[in-house]
């Protein structure tokens, strides 16, 4: 069995995270929950301390830490009575871009994600008619000239209202024409800052706990060619590895 006892490095990480969390007591979180508000100050404090860029390589302004170290950061946030939902998204959603994005996409986006000037916290996969069967999703991305035109719907997409970028999984080959069940889906990086109201409609969903979750409707959303992450049709594998 692997030894997961704390090392000196993890003790230091836990103490550093605890120091940030100490400024955000339970009353703050209850207030945020009652107002369905985004924990902007908490996320900013963790970014200033360098914790949310943990898994981004140093070449892009991150810390280059391991997945285990990232798990320790999130565990300690919860241990201190805070909510790591937005932190988890900022730390891990970028994995698809880091592993499969072009050199230009990495250069353009990863430094901003590392320093907090860009929020990549929305992950557009789940749909009302497919649920956990990701391979049955129906949102399409058809080619039109040099653009992709997106139509469809996603649901339970948390933090979309508070994210600058979204990783979106859409079908680029009809299911019956795909060479296998796992082919025909592609990943796109959507700049939410310029697309809300221009092919994207967000509808908040009221939930028992505040996860700022939404329905998203795509109506002829146009994306440039460079929004595609990696190879067309390989998106399902990218989402899993990311």
pLDDT digits (tens, 9 = 90+) for 210-222: 778 899 999 999 9
Q: Is residue 1 part of a domain?
A: no
- Residue 134: what pLDDT? 85
Indicate whether 232 and 151 sit together in one domain.
yes
Q: Is residue 73 part of a domain?
A: yes
CATH number for the domain including 81? 1.10.540.10
Q: Is residue 77 part of a domain?
A: yes
How large is the C-alpha radius of gyration of the chain? 18
Indicate whether 228 and 124 sit together in one domain.
yes
Q: Is residue 101 part of a domain?
A: no
111, 26, 101: which is closest to 62 by C-alpha?
Answer: 111
96, 94, 85, 98: which is closest to 116 by C-alpha?
Answer: 94
User: 165 lies in which domain range?
Assistant: 120-241
How far is CA 127 from each of CA 105, 170, 225, rounded to the nearest angstrom?
A: 26, 11, 24
Q: Is residue 227 part of a domain?
A: yes
- Count of domains in the chain? 2
Indicate whether 50 and 140 sit together in one domain.
no
Q: Is residue 102 part of a domain?
A: no
Indicate whether 124 and 227 sit together in one domain.
yes
pLDDT band at 7 (very low <50, low <70, confident <90, very high): low
Q: Considering the entire predicted model, what is its pTM?
A: 0.89
Indicate whether 128 and 43 sit together in one domain.
no
Over the stretch 28-58, which tens digit does the pLDDT of each residue have? Answer: 999 998 888 899 999 999 999 999 999 999 9
Alpha-carbon torsion, ordered 81, 54, 121, 71, to 10 deg: -50
pLDDT higher at 131 or 72: 72
Indicate whether 151 and 207 sit together in one domain.
yes
Angle between helices 67-79 and 8-21 (to 10 degrees): 40
Indicate whether 131 and 225 sit together in one domain.
yes
Indicate whether 124 and 88 sit together in one domain.
no
Indicate whether 153 and 64 sit together in one domain.
no
CATH number for the domain including 215? 2.40.110.10
Indicate whether 175 and 70 sit together in one domain.
no
């Amino acid at each position: 069995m692997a030894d997961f006892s704390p090392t000196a490095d993890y003790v230091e990480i836990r103490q550093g995270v605890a120091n940030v969390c100490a400024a955000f007591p339970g009353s703050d979180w209850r207030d945020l929950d009652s107002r369905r508000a985004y924990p902007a100050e908490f996320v900013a404090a963790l970014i200033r301390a360098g914790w949310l860029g943990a898994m981004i390589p140093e070449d892009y302004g991150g810390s280059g830490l391991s997945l285990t170290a990232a798990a320790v950061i999130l565990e300690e946030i919860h241990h201190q009575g805070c909510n790591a939902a937005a932190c988890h998204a900022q730390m891990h959603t970028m994995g698809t871009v880091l592993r499969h994005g072009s050199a230009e996409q990495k250069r353009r986006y990863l430094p901003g994600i590392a320093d907090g000037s860009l929020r990549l916290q929305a992950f557009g996969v789940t749909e009302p008619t497919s649920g956990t069967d990701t391979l049955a999703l129906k949102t399409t991305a058809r080619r039109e000239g040099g653009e992709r035109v997106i139509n469809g719907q996603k649901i339970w997409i948390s933090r979309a209202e508070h994210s600058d970028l979204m990783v979106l999984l859409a079908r680029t080959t009809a299911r019956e024409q795909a060479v296998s069940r796992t082919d025909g889906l592609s990943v796109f990086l959507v700049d939410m800052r310029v697309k809300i109201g221009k092919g994207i409609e967000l509808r908040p969903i009221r939930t028992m706990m505040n996860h700022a979750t939404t329905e998203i409707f795509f109506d002829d959303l146009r994306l440039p060619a460079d929004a595609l992450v990696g190879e067309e049709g390989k998106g399902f594998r990218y989402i899993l590895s990311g």
